[in-house]
Amino acid sequence: MTHEIKRAHLLNMTYSGYGKYTVTWRDHERKTIRVTLHADNSNHFASDHMAQEASERFISWMNNTSPLKNEIIIKSITICSNGPDKHVIALQTDFVPASVGEVAA
């Protein structure tokens, strides 16, 4: 039996209480990037919304720091529980296709 293997970027998301989430990932030089997000504390599914926001922040960071000329977009977001108040976000990305007649460098 053959399984499809998909590569993804890894983001760690920790809930610290009072609607505060800390999201971390590693940059190209293995340095940790840390972002703090705030959610409405009354929403039971805030982690889903925060995973979406964290993914969008990561993509924005990638597009601003990547030497590639193609724009990077979100393809899919998978949230995995990693213990109480801890989540791992697997973020699949893709490139915006080059316009017709445009040659990618």
Token code pair at residue 46? 């805030």
- Tens place of pLDDT for every residue, the chain, 105 residues? 898 888 899 999 999 888 899 999 999 889 999 999 998 766 666 788 999 999 999 999 999 988 877 789 999 999 999 988 999 999 999 988 766 455 555
101 within a domain of the structure (yes/no): no
Distance from C-alpha of 13 to C-alpha of 86, rounded to nearest angstrom: 6
3 within a domain of the structure (yes/no): no
100 within a domain of the structure (yes/no): no
How many domains does the chain fold into? 1
Q: 85 phi and psi, to 5 degrees?
A: 65, 15
43 within a domain of the structure (yes/no): yes
Instruction: Give residue 84's pLDDT.
Output: 87
62 within a domain of the structure (yes/no): yes
Which residue bears the tokens 């805030």?
Answer: 46
27 within a domain of the structure (yes/no): yes
Q: Whole domain around residue 42: which residue ranges?
A: 9-95
Instruction: Give residue 47's pLDDT.
Output: 85
78 within a domain of the structure (yes/no): yes
Token code pair at residue 39? 């959610």
What three-state secondary structure class fits 50? helix
No. of helices (H) and no. of strands (E), the chain: 1, 5
1 within a domain of the structure (yes/no): no
Instruction: Give residue 19's pLDDT.
Output: 86
